Amino acid sequence: MSGRINYQAVSPAGFKALGGVYAHVQQSGLDAGLVELVYLRISQINGCAYCLDLHTTDLLKKGVPHRKLALVQAWREAGSLFSSREKAALGWAETVTNVSTTGIPDNEFAAASVILSEKELVDLTIAVGLMNTFNRLAIAFRRQPEALTAAA
């Protein structure tokens, strides 16, 4: 499968605007490892090969154990491997990503609100929206995972 459009080159201003949102998330006070874990989970839900490769590599570089990464999509069954903050963030990311089917119910909001502050929830929701946008760009325009270019 080859790429369709190099969206960064075709719309540099649009990509720069997304970069501004990315910078906001990085400076929001949310733990960078937590955000990266959320990005990985969203990319799993959306099936974005480019982002799966990118975020798995980034998390491994941050020292997240391989066995934990292998269980991200089954975090609810992984017991104490994931902290309460990670569980709250992953649950929130899932329900927001799947908004068309979840409608983001009150119980999901309440569960996340017990662990995360209002600011954290808002900034995390911005991060979730951003990753969903990046996933859609990469999938729509067939951005190739770095693993493919590294293997070639």
- Domains of the chain, start order: 11-147 (1.20.1290.10)
Instruction: Give the per-residue pLDDT at 147.
Output: 80
CA-based diameter of the chain, in Å?
48
109-147 pLDDT, tens per residue? Answer: 999 999 999 999 999 999 999 999 999 999 999 998 988
> First-to-last CA distance in the chain?
14
Instruction: Give the per-residue pLDDT at 123.
Output: 98
Instruction: Give the per-residue pLDDT at 152.
Output: 62
- Give me the residues of the chain with pLDDT under 70, please: 1, 151-152
Give the CA count within 13 Å in the CB-facing half-sphere of 149: 10
